[in-house]
Amino acid sequence: MSILSTSSYRINLSCCIDIRITISNVILLLQRLHIMAMGNSSSATNRPLMPKTTPIQDEYKLTEIVLGMGVNGKVVECIKKSSNEKCALKILLDSPKARREVDLHYRACACPHVVQVRDVFENVVSSKRCLLVVMECMSGGELFNRIQSRADSAFNEREAAHIVRSIALAISFLHSNNIAHRDLKPENLLYTSSGPEGQLKLTDFGFAKEVGLHKTLQTPCYTPYYVAPEVLGPEKYDKSCDLWSLGVITYILLCGYPPFYSNNGAPISPGMKLRIRNGQYGFPTAEWKNVSDNAKDLIKRLLKTNPDHRLTIDQVMSHKWISMYTAVPQTPLSTCRILNEDKEQWVDVQEEMSQALATMRIDEDQQIKLKTLKDSENKILLKRKKGSAAKKALPPVVKEEDSVVQG
């Protein structure tokens, strides 16, 4: 038999199992093996984080140009003096939580689909010990902003598939190293440049966490529109919550609006929470009639409410819509038009989500201190205290029968 056939290669593995792999899958396999090789390299993911203790001003010129906002504060522009390279600077108050964020991001930099960390400094800023994280400057902007800037109907399904595949490659690397991002959303997906050569990369590891083989994540941290059902309940959850978020992002990329939304304008309402837990969403004909069945199938498999039934990242990479993304039809989508029509609303949604993030996470390194009733400043409680004190100050009421002297 010929080694090369018209439709496939026949590869005889050492375990004596013959597997027929199409040419596109061979390419995909090589790419994934490259990602896995980086993930398994001890020098890549286990390299120790060694913050510099020298002043950052020795190597970088700091500016006040704000490039964006992250979970833990704004990101500003800085310039490397030796090369004149523009970089992005994020300043974090030094804490176990901040150390974990920087460490996981630093380790993830072995993946080319993750925003690269250039330097980390441990400096005192305004009398507070801080971690100063210097990253590559992503001048291409956020994912949705880039799509919004396109002409009406210029964005097509094949481009959406290419984007989802790029995101999936980043997730694949993280999950292969037992890291859950836990806040996967379009605002955390940035382009290296504004031109067609711009590469999409994942950033902001403020909610990232290292996990084991079992479902161990219990901290309720999420962004409302991308939250997985198990995060809303008492169940433990794992890396599969990133796959749910990928499903929501894929949905938005193909139509311009999220599958779950709040009817009353709140970041996450009881009704929205119920729809997420029940997996209630649809594919309205107006925007979805020309979208391929393969794309809808991927979304359905990613938005499974039971995480055990949801696709793993390996299954996503093997899905036809991803593995054969170059063959996806170039069907024009309504995404650009809808995103631009609802542009102001999307800004409000992002602001609501940012505000919600601050109240949705309690980590093990954040200690909660409960005030005693004596120290409480609650107005209602203070009013009741005053009323109680006033009653105690009144003379006792003598009942008539108590005043009768027994003879």
CB crowding 154-169: b at 16 or more within 10 Å, else e: ebbbbbbbebbbbbbb
Domains delineated in the chain: 56-136 (3.30.200.20), 141-357 (1.10.510.10)
- pLDDT score for 4: 35
CA-CA distance, 316 to 352, in Å (whole number)?
30
Model confidence at 376, pLDDT cuts 50, 70, 90, reads low
Q: Is 90 annotated as a binding residue?
A: yes
**pLDDT score, position 347:** 67
365 is catalytic: no
What Å distances lie between residue 157 and 162, 254, 255, 275, 338, CA to CA? 9, 7, 10, 26, 15
User: What φ, ψ does residue 66 adopt, rounded to 5°?
Assistant: -85, 125
Where residue 375 falls among pLDDT bands split at 50, 70, 90?
A: low
In this prediction, what percent of the chain has a pLDDT beyond 90? 41
- Tokens 């079992």 locate to 214
**Cα torsion for 146, 196, 208, 263, to the nearest 10°?**
20
**CB neighbours of 168 closer than 8 A, spacing ≥ 6?**
246, 313, 316, 317, 322
- 233 has pLDDT over 80: no
Q: Is residue 279 predicted with pLDDT exceeding 70?
A: no
Q: Which of 94, 103, 152, 183 is catalytic?
A: 183
Answer yes or no: is pLDDT of 368 > 70.
no
pLDDT, mean of residues 108-133: 96
pLDDT, one tens digit per residue, over 299-333 is: 999 988 888 888 999 999 999 999 999 999 999 99
Nearest 10 degrees: Cα torsion 86, 349, 145, 165: 90
- Looking at residue 93, what is its pLDDT? 94
Backbone angles phi, psi at 339, to 5 degrees: -60, -40
Of 260 and 295, more confident: 295
Would you say residue 259 has pLDDT above 50? Answer: yes
Provide, rounded to the nearest whole percent, the portion of the chain with pLDDT above 70: 59
Average pLDDT of the residues of the chain: 75
According to DSSP, residue 129 is labeled: E
Q: What is the pLDDT of residues 160-210, one digit of tens each?
A: 999 999 999 999 999 999 898 988 888 899 999 988 889 999 999 988 888
Quickly tell me which residue has 């105690």 as its tokens. Answer: 392
How much is the average pLDDT of 39-47? 51
Q: What is the DSSP letter of 89?
A: E
Tell whether the model's pLDDT for residue 80 goes beyond 60.
Answer: yes
pTM of the model: 0.71
Which of 198-202, 209-213, 220-224 shows the lowest per-residue confidence on average (mean pLDDT)? 220-224
In this predicted structure, the answer to whether residue 360 has a pLDDT above a threshold of 90 is no
pLDDT of residue 241: 79
Mean per-residue pLDDT, 389-402: 53
Res. 269: pLDDT tops 60: no
Region of 264 please: left (phi>0), alpha (psi -120 to 50) or beta.
Answer: alpha
The dihedrals phi and psi of 155, each to the nearest 5 degrees, come to: -85, 130
**pLDDT, tens digit (0-9, with 9 covering 90-100), for 83-102:** 999 999 999 999 999 999 99
